[in-house]
Structure formats: structure tokens, C-alpha cells
Amino acid sequence: MTVILRALETAVPDTIMIQPQVRDVFAAQPDLTRLGQRLVGAAFDSSGIETRYTALEELTVERSFDNPVFFDQKTMRILTPSTKTRNELYAEEGTKLFVEAARKALDAAAGIGAADVTHVVTVSCTGFFAPGPDYKIVRALGLDPSVQRYHLGFMGCYAAFPALRAAKAFCDADPDAVVLVVSAELCSLHVRSSNNPDTIVGSSLFADGAAAAIISARDLPVEAPALTLDHFETVLTPVGEESMAWNIGDEGFEMVLGTYVPHIIDEHIIGALEPLLARDESLQGLDYAQIEHWAIHPGGRSILDKVEAKLGLTPEQLVPARDTLRDYGNMSSATVMFVLKHIMDQPATEGNNRICSMAFGPGLTVETALLTRIGARSTEDAPASTDAGATADGDVAVPSDLEPILTNAGA
């Protein structure tokens, strides 16, 4: 039985943050030391980010607001609202992103409707409320009230993988299950001015966004690009517990993103990949670059640089991650889903269509996944008869060039 991610959609707020403009605002804060100002310039300019999105309409230099709470455009001061104020806005704006992404994914899943959804898994580390986003999605989309609901909270940037792994487990246990996975993060709610290097790095990277996926093993034609969920693994590095953390403070959540994190990843990424790649005999002995697609969580430009160099990947293999970082920034758990969608949306190739994906988070935790890109090819790439479909015995039919790969792709 093959578990397939049949639709993957994303959503972002309306307000765009232009990286040089945001840099100048942070650099102009009166509480910064000269060293802090230099660190702001260095962090923002080397981030690899051009634009980010925020649910905070106030975070714009284009117009001013009466009674500002987060940013006073008249004085250009970044304000310090309480954690309660930030979380109340998370409940309001976060719900919008959760619902928008979920609705888009459901609309994009051919042959699946709201009545088919059996499980909802929501993911977020940037706020809390109850009844939570899982409940809000069920109500807004008119899902069956008996849908099983699960929320993964406060796990950080790698949390999309536990959600996808749970979805696969539900589908393995019940071939008729349809799982809606939704990740939404409002990281910008917690930005603040600081001379602390970790806080400055976080302010230069983090942004808001959401992604949602429909996952099922149902016997349905694969009429568009999709992903088989093949294997998942979790590894804790022996060092780094203090290098990446996410704590609750009086003035928002406090991100710890140490400058040593890229070095930890550089030292331990090979070992983190070993248990994942050992799950598939067809990958034994291959150079890493021979796995066609790499969906790396773009925690920052230096992390991507380390991954590319250590694994000997080509610049082209890091394009999905670097493009996501450039256009959206680091949206915590939702980000790797944006990278996977980038890969799904690429033109079909004659390569092996395997995807090795990984994300890093507090712990230091490394979550990895093996996936396979399947689905209809365009008429220029292959005749229609090679499109994936459904066989009489209920297994998914795939193009002939993918059959050797899927032989070893089961749970």
C-alpha cells in the first residue's frame, strides 16, 4: 500500500516586508549599541532573503496606524507588547492562515472532498489557544464533527515531519483514511529589538506562512504531481541542546538560534542521514548528489551552504530551498512544505524523482524523510498513457521508469 501526499498548498499574509527596509528599521532602534548596529547590518545583508510576509499590518513603512502596538511608523520604534497581546493576535490571524491553507489543499485534492477527511493534524510553535486551530479548521471547512484531531505544538522548525509521519501511520492503519495536515506559523509576532546576536539573527530570518497537505492511501488516480511518503527518521545530535531553543518570555517568545548551529549540522549531517538512507537498498552506494531532489529546510543561508558543501550537492539541487528562503524567509515548521511544493511544481524530469528532505530544530533535532515525486507528466514529457492511475487491486499505478524505485518505497 502506497501512502500519497496528493495536494500541497501554501498561504501567506498580505503584508510584505522588504529585507533592506526592515534592516534599516532594526538598525535605527535607539537601544542598539554600535556593535548591535553592525550585527544587524551583517545578519540582514547575509541572510539570502529579499522578501518576507507578516500578519502584522503595522510592520510596514508605507503608512502609519493610530495607537500602534507593535511598530510606531511615526517614530520608527519597534514596540514591546506583552506575550498576551501577541498571542491574542496569533489566535485571530493564525486562524485565517490555517483555514486558508487547508481550504486550498482540499480544493486541490482531486476526488477528495470535505466529507472524506478523517483526521486533521495541525502544527505550530508561535502561539496557543483552545479550542485550537484543529477545531477552527473543522468548523470553517464543514468537516465531519467526528474527525480525529491532533495538534503538534512548540516543536519548532522540524515539526512538519512528525505531522507527515503521523499522517502516514494513520493511512497505513486505515487504507480509507484521508488526513489533512496544516502548519501555520506567525513568527513575526515575536520580533524585538536587541543587542543579543541570537535575537538579531532571528529577527533577520523569521516570517509568517502556512502550508497544508492532503494525504491518503485511497485507490484514486494520480492526475497531478504528488509525493509518495516512503520513510521517516529522527536523529538527535550529541551536542547543540543549548544552541537552538524557543522559550516563552514576558514580551513574546524568545528564539535562541546560536551562530554555532551551522557547524553542528556540518559535523553531524552525514550521521543523521545514515538511518534514513539505510531504509532503501536502491540508495546504497550512491553519492548524495545522485538523489535527484533535496528539500532542505532553509533555516538560514549558512545552513544551506553547509549542507551543499558537506554532501557535495549541486547548486541546482539547493534551488528550491534557496528560492524559498529568498522569497519567504524562515517560516519555522511550514517552510520545508514550501520547499516540497517548489519541487512538486517543477517540470517533470527523466531523473529518479527521489526526494531527500530534512529539517533542523531544537534539541538539536534532525528530522529526515524520503519521498518520491509521481504524477502526470505534461504532453511534452511523455504520452498520456504513462500518467499514474489506479489499478484494479487498489495499488497506485506509476510510470514505468519509477517502478524500480517504488519497489523499495513501502513502510
| 139 burial level (CB within 10 Å; 0-12, 13-18, 19+) | exposed
Q: What is the DSSP string of 30-59?
A: TT--HHHHHHHHHHHHTS--SEEEES-TTS
Q: How far apart are CA 298 and CA 354, in angstroms?
A: 19
**Nearest C-alpha neighbor of 223 from the set 378, 114, 407:** 378
CA 260 from chain center: how many Å?
A: 22
Question: Are residues 97 and 186 in contact, defined by beta-carbon separation less than 8 angstroms?
Answer: yes
Active site residue 157: yes
At what angle are helices 95-108 and 133-141 packed, to 10 degrees? 50
At what angle are helices 335-344 and 160-173 packed, to 10 degrees? 70
CA end-to-end distance (rounded Å), the chain = 9
Question: Are residues 177 and 119 in contact, defined by beta-carbon separation less than 8 angstroms?
Answer: yes
Residue 237, C-alpha cell as written in the block: 545530535
Q: How far apart are CA 188 and CA 329, in angstroms?
A: 11
Residue 218, C-alpha cell as written in the block: 485511497
Q: How far apart are CA 388 and CA 247, in angstroms?
A: 46
Q: How far apart are CA 393 and CA 214, in angstroms?
A: 22
SS3 326: helix
Catalytic residue among 157, 171, 187, 356, which?
A: 157
- Pairing verdict, β 252-257 and 244-249: antiparallel
How many CB atoms are located within 10 Å of the residue 20 CB? Answer: 10
Question: Are residues 237 and 363 in contact, defined by beta-carbon separation less than 8 angstroms?
Answer: yes
Residue 37, C-alpha cell as written in the block: 548596529
Residues contacting residue 6 through CB under 8 Å, at least 6 positions apart: 109, 110, 112, 214, 215, 216, 220, 222, 226
**Catalytic positions, written as ranges:** 157
